[in-house]
């Protein structure tokens, strides 16, 4: 049932990105003026946030889809579906912006260099892309392999632990986007994302407690 619901949603997101891309190529500055009439030009934070959060979100979608397909706890599966669906839509929106701005889909260098140094979460500790250490909160390849190998309650609990840490790691990026982005749309987008994911963290922590487990240590 969940798969049948997800297919049209994915299709809508893909179509939206393609339409925005086509408009961006065809209209150039005209598209920018029509879609963002009162917004200033995007700065490094707007672009970097959209690029790095796309990468961060893609991993969350992979983890969520694993539990959606192989989990056994209905509540955890529903949460995974909501997270995966929501972050897929957000990826589509960020990729649409990047297309209109004429920027690459993902960063071509180290992650999080766009985060101002005085925020306390700049990119010096995030490692290079694409082969270096991941952004804060992201699961390692070993952890992803473990997640995909588990079944039943072990899978459900491990997902909740990984996703809680994943959300926690993304929070500083959202705060930086909310505070430092040049465009109103990115600031508002980051702020709303932070509210949603803070609620997710609270819910997942409660779900772990009910299942006799605890969150992983938060990312440094």
pLDDT in tens, 22-62: 444 434 443 444 444 456 799 999 999 999 999 999 999 99
DSSP 73: -
Q: Above 50 in pLDDT, residue 18?
A: no
Question: Reduced to 3 states, what is the DSSP secondary structure of residue 135?
Answer: coil
Query: Does 219 reside within a domain?
Result: no
Query: Does 118 reside within a domain?
Result: yes
pLDDT in tens, 82-141: 999 999 999 999 999 999 999 999 988 899 999 998 766 544 333 334 444 469 999 999
Q: Above 80 in pLDDT, residue 158?
A: yes
Share of the chain above pLDDT 90, in %: 71
Query: Does 220 reside within a domain?
Result: no
What tokens were used for 190?
A: 């980051």
Domain count, the chain: 1
Number of Cα atoms under 13 Å in the Cβ half of residue 137: 28
Distances (CA, A) of 97 to 75, 160, 197: 33, 30, 22
Domain interval for residue 136: 2-210
- 29: alpha, beta or left, given left = phi > 0 and alpha = psi -120 to 50? alpha
CATH code: domain of residue 6: 1.20.1260.10
Report pLDDT for 19: 43
Query: Does 35 reside within a domain?
Result: yes
Report pLDDT for 40: 77
Mean of pLDDT over the chain: 83
Query: Does 136 reside within a domain?
Result: yes
Query: Does 50 reside within a domain?
Result: yes
**What pTM does this model have?**
0.79
Banded pLDDT at 149 (limits 50, 70, 90) = very high
Residue carrying the six token digits 């508002």 = 188
Share of the chain above pLDDT 70, in %: 75
């Amino acid at each position: 049932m969940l798969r049948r619901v997800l297919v049209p949603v994915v299709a809508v997101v893909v179509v939206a990105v393609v339409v925005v891309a086509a408009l961006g190529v065809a209209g150039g500055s005209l598209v920018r003026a029509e879609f963002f009439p009162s917004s200033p030009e995007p700065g490094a934070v707007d672009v970097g946030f959209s690029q790095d959060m796309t990468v961060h979100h893609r991993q969350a979608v992979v983890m969520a889809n694993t539990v959606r397909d192989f989990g056994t706890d209905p509540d955890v599966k529903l949460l995974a579906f909501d997270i995966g669906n929501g972050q897929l839509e957000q990826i589509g929106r960020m990729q649409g912006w990047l297309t209109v701005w004429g920027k690459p889909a993902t960063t071509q260098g180290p992650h999080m260099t766009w985060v101002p140094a005085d925020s306390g979460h700049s990119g010096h500790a995030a490692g290079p892309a694409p082969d270096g250490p991941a952004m804060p909160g992201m699961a390692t390849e070993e952890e992803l392999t473990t997640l995909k190998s588990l079944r039943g309650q072990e899978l459900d609990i491990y997902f909740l632990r990984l996703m809680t840490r994943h959300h926690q790691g993304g929070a500083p990026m959202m705060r930086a986007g909310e505070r430092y982005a040049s465009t109103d749309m990115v600031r508002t987008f980051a702020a709303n994302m932070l509210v949603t994911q803070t609620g997710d963290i609270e819910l997942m922590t409660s779900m772990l407690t009910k299942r006799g487990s605890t969150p992983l240590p938060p990312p440094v």
